[in-house]
Amino acid sequence: MPELPEVETVVRSVKPLLLGRTLVNIERSPFTLRTPWQPAWNRLIPGCSIIDVTRRGKWILLELSLPQYRLIVHLGMTGRLLVQQKSTARPAHTHVIFGLKENNEELRYLDPRRFGSVTIARETDSARFPEEEQLGPEPFDLTVKGFSESLMKSRRNLKALLLDQSVVAGVGNIYADESLFEARLHPQRLGTSLNAKEATSLRKAIVKVLRRAIESKGSTISDFYFGNDESGSYQDEFRAYGRTDQPCKRCRKPITRIRLAGRSTHFCDHCQR
């Protein structure tokens, strides 16, 4: 599933192509996404302009000129958001299409596995969006005190805590493993076992790893592509995730893989004691 760096990469790729553009119509495939499309939405969009494209956690937010409404997109596991010429054949699994008034183009949402969603929310609903989705702070907004307290009061393991979107929004399996490696913390350690210095170290590691990943335009392992079939390159920098039995880049001991918090978890049992 795309995590924060991949979603941020998509936002940065489509934002210059969408700002100020006018939506003229909506088409949909007969297949239902994670959240069913509401027929009433068809009447809201035509004539609206896109005034901003932002990200919150793993969600893409398209702010509209229509007062009190916004488009909210979640890429699920295999979703893509593309701006393409109408004359370009629509790729397979294109499920939502917004016609754009200018340049004979369309905004297309593709999703082979259909675990993602495209919805329209009122401002009053979308204002509650972070709370309803139980989204915690953005990684770049974490305070030392708040993050440390979230960790140190919990008896869950660190991997589970980092996957909990109410603790920190946008971090998933890949960047949890990479951040714990960066901080030299074992994923099975309980939050209550940390001291303030270790919690601060983990906070810094999360920010450092995510910034590096954004600079590399995310990680393309199997399904993540953006723009004109462009791919990220951060997978070439992995130091823990997906490197089972390969030598640790610090100590040369083999990377260990276990199942933790329902997910494959990779770490160095020597460096992350």
- Catalytically active residues are 2-3, 58, 263
DSSP per position, the chain = ---HHHHHHHHHHHHHHHTTPBEEEEEE-SS--SSPPPGGGGGTSTT-BEEEEEEETTEEEEEESSTTEEEEEE-TTT-EEEEEETTSPPPTTEEEEEEETTTTEEEEEE-SS---EEEEEEHHHHHTHHHHTT----GGG--HHHHHHHHHT--SBHHHHHH-TTTSTT--HHHHHHHHHHHT--TT-BGGG--HHHHHHHHHHHHHHHHHHHHTT---SSS--BTTTB---GGGG-SSTT-BTSBPTTT-PBBEEEEETTEEEEE-TTT--
